[in-house]
Amino acid sequence: MSVLIRRAEPADFDAIARLSVAAYRADGQLDAAADYAAVLADVPARAEAGELLVAVDEITGEVLGSVLFVLPGTPYAELSGPGEAEFRMLAVDPAAQGRGVGGALVRACLTRARDLGCRRVVICTRSVAAAAHRLYARFGFVRTPERDWSPRPGVDLHALHLDLAGARCPVPGPA
């Protein structure tokens, strides 16, 4: 399967909303934060606040995943400061998981951060998101426990960072 990463278009928004909610639900991440489904489904707000990227099947054009790339001081930025970029809400359609889509989206965010001259990329993940932790570890992201936080009781977020000078981009393959 060949995956193309591009900027999301309004015609993609319904698919992004569906797959984002489905991916977070399948991963058990909507249990303690059920109202987060509404945030994930508000794709127009995300697209306005940052660079919303999609992974599409190059042959069928099907939207397989998405991620929001943001810079410090923008509405969806949670951790980033000067010289840092951040990505949020990375989601891959459950039917497309394990086919390299998540890795392709991460690589696109790292490339964008480098292109903008950022020295670091920061992200946060739910403490229970084992698959996400494995994906990010393959790219060299490391825990930054002093930046861990909790938006509400029962939702613990682990902060991770990747210094771009020493970043490694794994060869394309299953995520």
Q: What percent of the chain has pLDDT over 70?
A: 91
What's the pLDDT tens digit per position in 8-31? 999 999 999 999 999 988 877 776
Which tokens go with 80?
């980033």
Domains and CATH numbers, the chain: 3-166 (3.40.630.30)
| pTM: predicted TM-score of the whole model, two decimal places | 0.90
What's the pLDDT tens digit per position in 59-72? 999 999 999 999 99
pLDDT for the residue numbered 167: 59
Q: Per-residue pLDDT for 169 more than 60? A: no
Q: By mean pLDDT, which of 42-51, 85-94, 123-132 is the weakest?
A: 123-132
Instruction: pLDDT band for 34, please (50, 70, 90 cuts).
Output: low
Residues making up the chain, counted from first to last = 175
Instruction: Determine whether 55 is exposed, middle or buried from the number of CB atoms within 10 Å of its CB (0-12, 13-18, 19+).
Output: buried
pLDDT for the residue numbered 44: 97
66: nearest Cα among 110, 123, 105:
105
Q: Per-residue pLDDT for 37 more than 80? A: yes
Q: Per-residue pLDDT for 156 more than 90? A: no
Q: By mean pLDDT, which of 22-26, 79-83, 138-142 is the weakest?
A: 22-26
Residue 146 corresponds to which amino acid?
E
Instruction: pLDDT band for 172, please (50, 70, 90 cuts).
Output: very low
Q: Per-residue pLDDT for 33 more than 70? A: no
d(CA 115, CA 120): 12
